[in-house]
Structure 1
Amino acid sequence: MKVAIIDDEQHCIDHLYALLKPFGAGMEISCFGNAEEAIIGLEKLQPDIVFLDVQLHQKTGFDVLSAISKRDFSLIFTTAYESYAIEAFKFSAIDYLLKPVDRDDFETALQKAIDKVEQSQLHDRIKVLLSHVSTDNHLKRISVPSNEGYAFLLIDDIVRCQADVNYTHIFTVDGKKYTASKTLKHFEKLLEGRHFFRIHNSHLINLHYVASYHKDGYAILKDGLKLEVSTRRKEAFIKECGKF
């Protein structure tokens, strides 16, 4: 198994190397200290697992991913900044470790990488990741995990999300339904600040698709669907709708 460590700080490389040591039998470990070396090295090495630092001097790990042609490895980001690009990782469902890297977190992430749990549809998930860190106006997507793999949905196309115990049903503007192996709370937090509002314990809706509010306590969506708005959320819901 070939493992690549990409980091611009030697002590961080040394720490990851030490954490890998107990798993070292049969592992070929290569280290790269900047984006340019990493791009050349990854193309040549064709690794199975990559530990990729977010910040690499004046460039980023995202620059590395954008520049390489083959992305069929298990990818684990490392970052010293808790807020830096964390939203993008969550939208793309790509694993990351906060520095200084904790041994237990490392072992969990490594085992998932070895088992290729996080490798499924990685190329597409990296595209989602890159769209969120891009400064242009590309429409943003979200990676939705299911038992079959991942669906990649435009956030603006999501009409509503409905809770089903530990699963969530996601309904899109084209009439399709996707079932995600995550709770509604997960999507509420993920889509925070993206014009979504939780009107009820069971419903999270895209405010762009609200047609009206009925005095009996129901939101009427543009497709005619009526959904109950909980009493305690009514005032905030009406206020948020007024912004659109």
Structure 2
Amino acid sequence: MADMIRAVIVDDEPNNVENLSQLLERHCPQVTVAGAAYDSVYGRSLILDKRPDLVFLDISMPGQTGFDLLSSLPAPDFDVIFVTAFHEYGIQAIKFSALDYLLKPIDVTELRHAVDKALARRADRHQKAQLENLLELLKHQQQKQEHRIALPGARETRLVHPGRIVRCEASNNYTTFYLQDGEKYLVSKPIFEYEEMLRDYGFLRCHQSHLVNRSFIRSWIKEDGGYLLLEDNTAVPVSRQKRDLIKSLL
């Protein structure tokens, strides 16, 4: 079948491999598991041998991590769904790169959603750029000037330096990014996900619908209850609950 995809699982816990294999068989029949590995070294060999479309990859494994495995591959050309219990910086980097991850124990609905997105991405080679961005983030954890955030759109995934983002504005479960050169970019994710990602890059959540880059704030206007005036003359509202916090931060 044209819509079938080959997958491999790399996880150091045999029970997790068995559980995920059974969940895929029951709930994601379009996925065929071509093999499994219980460490990064064999996982690398398995990936090179099977050349899968999709890899379910554990992050924390003895010896080498899942990130080490990815770094060792010459040119990853497959989709990745990370599977992990908890890995604070790793999860943040994965979100920044707009890649998929599943938390253990695996939720069936989230598994289906991640697989559906992998199927939709098969013809989208921006996955390679996202993986490269993830590896750069992990390599340069302290060098924020080199970080780029992945903005997945309908036709492409844009990699943008956070310093170029002037502000973000929410509309239901969508977020519009306003860039320094006047460009706008719509992303089908809620604004709260980006609040967490961009907090360390000088962004302020001044309103339920607005996230602002502090570098582009020109002034605090006291009239009309108070609002922020940006360098491009955009007026951004500040909620009553946020006023004292925003004034103290400025």
Counterpart of 1:90 (choices 95, 105, 124) is 95
Q: Which stretch of structure 1 is more off in the superposition, 122-131 or 182-191?
A: 182-191
1:3 positional shift:
1.7
Distance in 1, Cα, partners of 2:188 & 2:14: 38
- For residues 220 and 6 of structure 1, the distance between their equivalents in structure 2, rounded to whole angstroms, comes to 50
C-alpha distance in 1 between matches for 2:18 and 2:170 = 44
In structure 1, what is the Cα distance between the partners aligned to 2:13 and 2:205? 43
- CA gap of 1:89–1:118, structure 2 versus 1, over 3 A, is farther
Partners of 1:75 and 1:118 within 8 A in 2: no
Q: Which runs of 5+ in 1 are unaligned?
A: none
For residue 203 of structure 1, the aligned residue among 204, 210, 213 is: 210
Give the one of 176, 184, 200 matched to 1:177. 184
The one-letter code sitting in structure 2 at the alignment partner of 1:212 is S
Root mean square deviation, CA, Å: 2.6
Matched with 1:58 is: 63
The amino acid of 1:203's aligned partner reads H
Question: Which of 133, 140, 164 is the equivalent residue of 1:157?
Answer: 164
Q: Return the alpha-carbon distance in structure 1 between the equivalents of residues 104 and 209 of structure 2.
A: 36
* Pairing 1:137–2:146 present: no
Kindly indicate whether residue 53 of structure 2 is the aligned counterpart of residue 16 of structure 1.
no
Which structure shows the bigger proportion of residues in helix conformation?
2
**How many angstroms does 1:6 deviate by?**
0.8
Counterpart amino acid of residue 17 in structure 1: S
Q: Among residues 55, 65, 69, which one is paired with 2:74 in the alignment?
A: 69
SS in 2 for 1:223: coil
Cα pair distance change 1:33/1:213, threshold 3 Å: same
Q: Secondary structure of 1:190's partner?
A: helix
Distance in 1 of aligned mates of 2:24 and 2:214 = 47
| Residue identity opposite 1:171 in structure 2 | Y
Cα displacement string for residues 61-100 of structure 1 (whole angstroms, at most 9, x for unaligned residues): 1111122133232211111226462222222221112223
The residue number in structure 2 matching 1:191 is 198
State yes or no: 1:225 paired with 2:231. Answer: no
- CA positional deviation for 1:105: 3.4
Which amino acid in the other structure matches residue 96 of structure 2? F
Classify 1:55/1:118 alpha carbon distance in 2 versus 1 (closer, same or farther; 3 Å): farther
| TM-score, scaled relative to structure 1 | 0.84
Q: What is the aligned residue count? A: 240
CA contact (8 A) 2:7 2:31 kept: no
Q: Does the 8 A contact of 2:11 with 2:37 survive in 1?
A: yes
What letter is aligned with 1:129? Answer: L
Mapped contact 2:165–2:180 kept (Cα < 8 A): yes
Task: Give the stretch that moved more between structures: 23-32 or 9-18.
Answer: 23-32
Q: CA deviation at 1:28?
A: 5.1
Question: Which one-letter code corresponds to 1:42 in the other structure?
Answer: I
SS of the residue 1:126 aligns to: helix
Query: Structure 2: which 5+ runs fail to align?
Result: none
Equivalent residue number for residue 5 of structure 1:
9
Q: Aligned partners of 1:213, 1:35: CA distance in 2, in Å?
A: 52
TM-score by length of 2: 0.82
